Amino acid sequence: MVLPIGLQAQQPSSKQWFKDKDLTLTGVYYYPEHWDESQWNRDFKKMHELGFEFTHFAEFAWAQLEPSEGKYDFAWLDRAVALAAKHDLKVVLCTSTATPPVWLSRKYPEILLRQEDGTVLDHGARQHASFASPLYRELSYKMIERLAEHYGNDARVIGWQLDNEPAVQFDYNPKAEMAFRDFLRNKYDNSIKALNDAWGTSFWSEVYTTFDEITLPKTRQMFMNHHQILDYRRFAAGVTNDFLNEQSLLIKKYAKNQWVTTNYIPNYDEGHIGGSKELDFVSYTRYMVYGDNEGIGRRGYRVGNPLRIAFANDFFRPIQGTYGVMELQPGQVNWGSINPQPLPGAVRLWLWSVFAGGSDFVCTYRYRQPLYGTEQYHYGIVGTDGVTVTPGGREYQEFISEVKMLRKEFSPRDKKPKDYVDRTTAILFNHENAWSIDRQKQNATWSTMGHIEKYYRTLKSFGAPVDFITEEKDFSQYPVLIAPAYQLADKDLVERWTNYVQNGGNLVLTCRTAQKDRFGRLFAAPFGSLINNLTGNSMDFYDLLLPKDPGVVEMAGKKYTWNTWGEILIPGKDSQVWATYAQEFYDGKPAVTFRKLGKGTITYIGVDSTDGSLEADILKKLYTTLNIPVMDLPYGVTMEYRNGFAIVLNYSDEPYEFTLPTGAKVLIGSAVIPTAGVLVYKI
């Protein structure tokens, strides 16, 4: 299944491709194969005039690149690349594995993806091939290798995007099942006993006698073994990651000074983002207006959720130190439940939101509105006539000229004020916690990502830089580390947390943490006790309430409601009790504790409040205790720094007056920031 490439990944720093002085590059998708070739020159000329610096080709063009098996045609793409270069546009190429040509699916139907209910996907759309099919990989690699050979040493091509929004497939293709068994044999060292122990198969006669009896778990079958599902999800994420790794290695055999990335959908708990180590960095796609999208106020659906881009920035950037945004909508989309026009200014606001997180490029989807096919109603930078610039196109033009103006004033990427850097906070994230909790929620109204967002939202109101990090990272560089609902843990992790605190770190752990081992089993010890020596507490019990009759927690005389999860704590001798339950038969018992340990502190928040206000007040109290100065930005206003610039964004439905620091030089906007407005000043 794995192609013998035999190459070591190079790990050049992103500085090799992206320069501080450029701040960010802006590009746009173009599909030469959709348009009459006589229009290409006109289109690239206009693209350049609007200020775009790169374009993006060949994403779904396998049928044009390899019209019949083994017969390649790159002549049309050569002409497109040359014309783009004539208009000063660099090119990002794509591997087009999301759309195999019809000859491939008809000749080799075994490559088709099979869904859990047995439906086999077919030609006529996209993303219907199985990443677990060795034959599909082989055919993909042949095409990719030819493409990389042809363009790898072409200075007009700056980078590569693999596939399109590669997802974890949950594919029931027979080849996936065989590969799953191999994955398990390998993981459990060929010991079926070890697998039976890990999956707890003594329960309900689920025991296996050989690996060959194991199938891909039917996730929709009631009560399916969730330990097995946990392993299946690990396997499935691994299949996608391997496919991308192998594509990347293949391209790097030929690529000279070209980067390789892919365009992930930021589905954080899907579990594969960050897992393909051979990518040079990760990129994401983001759509903001598509119907009901949690914006602020009556017209909020035209602006979008204020933290949707910020969260993606803070999740993607720490993975490899930089990131790009591969797709950002220029106007209406075609696939939402309702597809409204964005508010005038919103497209530019999103562009600045991407920039604020420290990105190296942003690319918009797409240049021209298609005249046929699934995405007919999707806006472009120009409309259906191919020449009239859309309102979103104008906002791109404005953003690009503003960036060019800022380039004259840039400083190094890391020039940021001390008070901002001092409040840097990490959120420890492992998608496996979400996988595990979501199969056994215990309270249908619990949301793992919603729980994490309550902390994130508060940190953004503090004006704090946030990094989502995984356990691979060194915790010690972060003054505060929050591990929300970190359900799956082991002694090693608890020891690392303890050392972090002992050495001066400030750790915040929240409810549901360390209750299970990495297989999803409870420990043969008092419930939740793995962290007792760290938190100083023990847990008496936990309670779950109905949303219509929430419980109350009290802190410093203020009351907060909760219902999804509440742990009733028994505090240790040196624990300070910060909040207590104010109802029920555990009235007065602790819900939140804090203690000093070694040179650091540990805060334990055993409850998940209804609206996040308790979490906000606890973090305020903690940062005050730690003497970390924070801001108090209203929801909808965010502020970040990069390259010596402060970027303040207003997603709220009213103007926001920002207090400029003395000496600030305003470069874009003004201190009163209107809805969808942007303020940039130099520090």
Closest approach, Cβ 165 to ligand GAL, in A, equals 4
Within residues 162-201, the interface with ligand GAL by CB under 6 A covers 164-165
How many other C-beta atoms can be found within 10 angstroms of the C-beta atom of residue 67?
A: 12
- d(CA 103, CA 13) in angstroms, rounded, equals 40
- d(CA 189, CA 182) in angstroms, rounded, equals 10
- d(CA 116, CA 219) in angstroms, rounded, equals 8
| C-beta closer to ligand GAL: residue 93 or 534 | 93
Which strands make up the sheet holding 645-650, listed edge to edge?
637-642, 645-650, 678-682, 665-668
- d(CA 161, CA 95) in angstroms, rounded, equals 7
Owner of token pair 């993606």: 312
Q: Total number of residues binding ligand GAL (CB under 6 A)?
A: 10
Closest approach, Cβ 290 to ligand GAL, in A, equals 9
Helix (H) or strand (E) holding 135: helix 134-151
| C-beta closer to ligand GAL: residue 29 or 475 | 29
As given in the structure block, the two tokens for residue 228 are 């097995």
33 contacts ligand GAL (rule: CB under 6 A): no
End-to-end CA distance of the chain: 53
Closest approach, Cβ 286 to ligand GAL, in A, equals 9
| C-beta closer to ligand GAL: residue 376 or 476 | 376
Closest approach, Cβ 611 to ligand GAL, in A, equals 31
Within residues 56-75, the interface with ligand GAL by CB under 6 A covers none
Closest approach, Cβ 334 to ligand GAL, in A, equals 7
Q: Which residue pairs from 107-114 have beta carbons closer than 8 angstroms and sit at least 24 positions apart in sequence?
A: 107/69, 108/135, 108/136, 108/139, 110/135, 110/173, 110/174, 110/175, 111/135, 111/136, 111/139, 112/173, 113/169, 113/171, 113/173, 114/171, 114/172, 114/173, 114/174, 114/176
| Residues forming beta bridges with residue 639, ordered by sequence position | 648
312 contacts ligand GAL (rule: CB under 6 A): no
Kind of pairing between the strands at 282-286 and 323-328: parallel
Cβ atoms 322, 360 nearer than 8 A: yes
| C-beta closer to ligand GAL: residue 35 or 365 | 365
114 contacts ligand GAL (rule: CB under 6 A): no
Closest approach, Cβ 306 to ligand GAL, in A, equals 21
| C-beta closer to ligand GAL: residue 378 or 642 | 378
Q: What angle do CA 98, 104, 109 make, to 5 degrees?
A: 95
Q: Where are the beta strands (DSSP E) in 371-519?
A: 425-428, 466-469, 480-483, 506-510
Closest approach, Cβ 613 to ligand GAL, in A, equals 34
Phi and psi for 50 in degrees, rounded to 5? -70, -15
- d(CA 58, CA 12) in angstroms, rounded, equals 26
Owner of token pair 């805060």: 603
Closest approach, Cβ 94 to ligand GAL, in A, equals 10
| C-beta closer to ligand GAL: residue 327 or 640 | 327
| C-beta closer to ligand GAL: residue 129 or 648 | 129
Task: Give CA 415 to chain center in angstroms.
Answer: 25
As to burial, measured by CB atoms within 10 angstroms (0-12 exposed, 13-18 middle, 19+ buried), residue 339 is middle
Closest approach, Cβ 487 to ligand GAL, in A, equals 30
Q: What is the 3-state secondary structure (H, E, C) of 41-60?
A: HHHHHHHHHHCCCEEEECCC
Stretch that binds ligand GAL, among 293-301, 327-335, 346-354, 657-665 (CB under 6 A): 327-335
- d(CA 567, CA 515) in angstroms, rounded, equals 12
Closest approach, Cβ 16 to ligand GAL, in A, equals 27
Closest approach, Cβ 287 to ligand GAL, in A, equals 6
| C-beta closer to ligand GAL: residue 149 or 375 | 375
333 contacts ligand GAL (rule: CB under 6 A): yes
Closest approach, Cβ 645 to ligand GAL, in A, equals 30
| C-beta closer to ligand GAL: residue 200 or 331 | 331
- d(CA 460, CA 423) in angstroms, rounded, equals 11
- d(CA 332, CA 6) in angstroms, rounded, equals 45
Q: What is the 3-state secondary structure (H, E, C) of 147-161?
A: HHHHHCCCCCEEEEE
Mark 225-254 with x for binding to ligand GAL (rule: CB under 6 A) and - for no binding.
Answer: ------------------------------
Within residues 447-476, the interface with ligand GAL by CB under 6 A covers none
| C-beta closer to ligand GAL: residue 54 or 446 | 54
365 contacts ligand GAL (rule: CB under 6 A): yes
From the list 46, 308, 378, 413, which residue makes contact with ligand GAL (rule: CB under 6 A)?
Answer: 378
| C-beta closer to ligand GAL: residue 369 or 650 | 369
As to burial, measured by CB atoms within 10 angstroms (0-12 exposed, 13-18 middle, 19+ buried), residue 443 is middle
Kind of pairing between the strands at 645-650 and 637-642: antiparallel
- d(CA 101, CA 103) in angstroms, rounded, equals 6
Instruction: Tell whether omega for the bond before 366 is within 30 degrees of 0, i.e. cis.
Output: yes
Look up residue 635 and give its amino acid.
Y
| C-beta closer to ligand GAL: residue 378 or 454 | 378
Mark 505-524 with x for binding to ligand GAL (rule: CB under 6 A) and - for no binding.
Answer: --------------------
Point out the residue whose Cβ comes nearest to ligand GAL: 165
Q: Where are the beta strands (DSSP E) in 206-281?
A: 259-264
| C-beta closer to ligand GAL: residue 272 or 378 | 378
Closest approach, Cβ 79 to ligand GAL, in A, equals 23
90 contacts ligand GAL (rule: CB under 6 A): no
| C-beta closer to ligand GAL: residue 266 or 386 | 266
Cβ atoms 133, 110 nearer than 8 A: yes
Helix (H) or strand (E) holding 7: none
Within residues 597-656, the interface with ligand GAL by CB under 6 A covers none
| C-beta closer to ligand GAL: residue 164 or 430 | 164
From the list 327, 395, 608, 615, which residue makes contact with ligand GAL (rule: CB under 6 A)?
Answer: 327
285 contacts ligand GAL (rule: CB under 6 A): yes
Radius of gyration for the alpha carbons in the chain, expressed in angstroms and rounded: 26
Closest approach, Cβ 58 to ligand GAL, in A, equals 13
Closest approach, Cβ 267 to ligand GAL, in A, equals 11
| Residues forming beta bridges with residue 567, ordered by sequence position | 542
Closest approach, Cβ 60 to ligand GAL, in A, equals 7
As given in the structure block, the two tokens for residue 235 are 């396997």
| C-beta closer to ligand GAL: residue 25 or 333 | 333
Closest approach, Cβ 164 to ligand GAL, in A, equals 5
Cβ atoms 187, 112 nearer than 8 A: no
As given in the structure block, the two tokens for residue 542 are 């936990």
The most distant pair of C-alpha atoms in the chain lies apart, rounded to whole Å, by: 80
| C-beta closer to ligand GAL: residue 22 or 375 | 375
As given in the structure block, the two tokens for residue 112 are 């088709």
For ligand GAL, the binding residues (CB under 6 A) are 164-165, 285, 287, 327, 333, 335, 365, 375, 378
